[in-house]
Amino acid sequence: MTTANAQARTTDAGRYAKVNGITMYYEVHGAGEPLVLIHGGGSTIQTSFGTLMPLLARTHSVIAVELQAHGHTSDRNAPESFEQDADDVAELLRQLNVPRADILGFSNGGSTALQVAIRHPERVRKLIAISAIYRRDGMQPWFWDFMAKGSFHDMPQLYKDAFLGINPDHAALVNMHDKDRARMLGFADWEASDIQGIQAPALIVVSDKDVVRPEHAMEIVHLLPNGRLAVLLGGHGEFFGEAMSPYPESRVPELFAAMVDEFLAAGEMPASDTP
């Protein structure tokens, strides 16, 4: 992808930063306390957060990023990893002079959000991880067979069109798909102690029909010192209006945005007396 191609397709809110060897695209919307949005695999800011972002921008300064090889952001001569993505987000915040931010990530972005909290705890005020995993068995059993047998042909056309609408280089699209797939096929379990070490108040969110097992989300909450759990109706990302949602006119994203606002605005929850 050339920078010229990408810049021709940015919004007025779009900006670039040189981050750890890549040219990283991000957008800033709204005003208030900083809230970072981290998209899912194969996605862009708009496919993950086109519905949710304007709702959150009513009350927050939203910093929405596109990660290595996704959308407007360039690639590096290295595989993708959740750890590297977390380092890229943290470095962007440093360059933007944002000492701490609230972090919200979805799917692969949810796992990246966990890694930001693990690797850069000083940058995280509160954490919202949607459809995130830290172990392979966090996914539904069918997922790994699907990934092993899957190919570029199986990538939803909506995601392909969104990428090519930003960057018309078909080879770059295939590269993103292949790197995303390789990351997931090579995913190795993280240590439980990594999750236990996250001190930031955290909201773990999953759908009842998600590709991530709701039981895994509960396991993460039980490991977190300051974790809360929400299980919402629908499929992967449906409750906040992710682009693949079958109900684009749903009012549920408004409800989820209100939940996010209240969680981020709330003080520390008192410890329960129940063992």
Domain range for 52 is 3-265
Q: What is the mean pLDDT of the chain?
A: 94
Question: What digits encode the pLDDT tens for the residues 69-121?
Answer: 999 999 999 999 999 999 999 999 999 999 999 999 999 999 999 999 999 99
Q: Do 99 and 205 contact (CB within 8 A), yes or no?
A: no
Q: Does any domain span residue 25?
A: yes
- What per-residue confidence (pLDDT) applies to 11? 65
- 12 falls in which pLDDT band (50, 70, 90)? confident
Q: Does any domain span residue 235?
A: yes
User: Which phi and psi angles does 29 have, rounded to 5°?
Assistant: -135, 145
6 vs 73: CA distance, rounded Å: 8
pTM of the model: 0.94
Provide CB contacts within 8 A for 187, sequence distance 6+.
Answer: 133, 136
Q: Does any domain span residue 270?
A: no
Which of 12, 19, 13, 58 lies closest to 35 in space, CA to CA? 58
Q: Does any domain span residue 275?
A: no
| HSE toward the beta carbon, residue 122, CA cutoff 13 A | 6
- Say which residue the tokens 């957060």 belong to: 49
Q: Do 74 and 170 contact (CB within 8 A), yes or no?
A: no
Side chain identity at 4, as an amino acid letter? A
- 13 falls in which pLDDT band (50, 70, 90)? confident
- In the sheet with 101-106, reading across from the earlier edge strand, the strands are 14-19, 22-29, 60-66, 33-38, 101-106, 124-130, 202-207, 227-232
94 vs 87: CA distance, rounded Å: 10
CATH code, domain carrying 155? 3.40.50.1820
The DSSP letter of residue 60 is E
**Which residues, in sequence order, are bridge partners of residue 27?**
14, 64
Question: What digits encode the pLDDT tens for the residues 164-206?
Answer: 999 999 999 999 999 999 999 999 999 999 999 999 999 999 9
Q: How far is CA 226 from CA 7, 130, 271, in A?
A: 41, 16, 9
Q: Do 42 and 175 contact (CB within 8 A), yes or no?
A: no
Which of 186, 179, 147 lies closest to 74 in space, CA to CA? 179
Q: Does any domain span residue 272?
A: no
- 60 falls in which pLDDT band (50, 70, 90)? very high
Residue 62: both structure tokens together:
């939203």
Q: Does any domain span residue 271?
A: no
243 vs 227: CA distance, rounded Å: 28
Q: Does any domain span residue 274?
A: no
- What per-residue confidence (pLDDT) applies to 197? 98
The DSSP letter of residue 139 is B
26 vs 233: CA distance, rounded Å: 30
Question: What digits encode the pLDDT tens for the residues 235-255?
Answer: 999 999 999 999 999 999 999
If one counts the domains in the chain, the total is 1
- What per-residue confidence (pLDDT) applies to 10? 54
Q: Do 81 and 116 contact (CB within 8 A), yes or no?
A: no
User: Which phi and psi angles does 273 have, rounded to 5°?
Assistant: -80, -10
Q: Does any domain span residue 174?
A: yes
